[in-house]
Amino acid sequence: MEALEVLGGYPTKPLNPRARMVRVLLSMTVCMGCLLMLHSFLKISKSRKPQDFYSFEVKDAKGRSVSLERYRGKASLVVNVASHSEHTEMNYRSLQELHRELGTSHFNVLAFPCGQFGETEMGASRDIEAYAKNTYGVTFTIFSKVKIMGSEAEPAFKFITDSVKKVPKWNFWKFLVNPEGQVVRFWKAEEPVDSIRQEAVTMRRLMEREACSPTGHWWTETCFSVTSRIPSVDASWLPWRLTRTNTVTWFPWRTT
């Protein structure tokens, strides 16, 4: 009796071995094509460049992953540092003073040790961090030692150098990153940190104006106390009045 296979109510003849093999090969080809397309999509997604500096992840001095997203909304001064350079003492002390003066509410110094300039940074990341803290009293963030040039350059730092189309020629180049993660300016090693202060203060002042914008609510003394800590920032534009209860009364009709 001839074997029949019922498909949709219509009898069909069984496939011969050759036709069955063709069907199997076609199915395998389709599956392989789908896998290749999926692989290409994942590769493109993985290689897609982040849009800003804060989109990256880096390693801290202890080798742990750190997302730079934690610094979004603040200004950051990114510096390639070294422990034994002719610029080390002057820069570490000046950077620490700037970090202490402007605080961490709206501003951060982010240091990336680099050993690509002679023998100015030969130690391990933990030793570099300990040396900076013990010798210069550094309290700002020092990340893991990285390369900033060549094919093995740290991606976060490569984003910075690509943004300004400049690669540091020596230690202690400084790059000012705005709250959105875009590089706005850079300074070479020999330029004093004092030349950076005014731009950093101006950027911080703009952020404070946005943070203290009129909302129709009562405000505590936060806006007053933050700006009053910076002698170079004029807080006279704030439409408030400090009362005896140490709170700030907001007057919406007063404009800057």
Give pLDDT tens digits for 142-154.
999 999 999 999 9
Q: Which residues pair with 241 in a beta bridge?
A: 249
Residue 182 Cα distances to 50, 127, 174, angstroms: 11, 31, 14
* Greater model confidence, 2 or 36: 36
- Residue indicated by tokens 């392989």: 32
What confidence tens digit (pLDDT) does each residue in 38-89 have? 766 565 544 456 689 999 999 999 999 999 999 999 999 999 999 999 999 9
Q: Shortest CA distance to 221 belongs to which of 40, 140, 229, 44?
A: 229
Q: Shortest CA distance to 58 belongs to which of 76, 40, 34?
A: 76
* CATH 3.40.30.10 intervals, the chain: 53-203
Sign of CA dihedral 236, 242, 248, 253: negative
What's the mean pLDDT when you consider all of the chain?
78
* pTM listed for this prediction: 0.66
| Cβ contacts of 185-193, under 8 Å, gap ≥ 24 | 189/87, 189/91, 190/87, 192/94, 193/91, 193/94, 193/95, 193/97, 193/98
Alpha-carbon span 108 to 122, nearest angstrom: 25
Alpha-carbon span 55 to 4, nearest angstrom: 62
Q: In the prediction, which pLDDT does 70 show?
A: 96
What confidence tens digit (pLDDT) does each residue in 213-233 have? 554 333 333 443 343 344 444
User: Superfamily assignment of 53-203 in CATH?
Assistant: Glutaredoxin (3.40.30.10)
Residue 201 in this model has a pLDDT that exceeds 80: yes
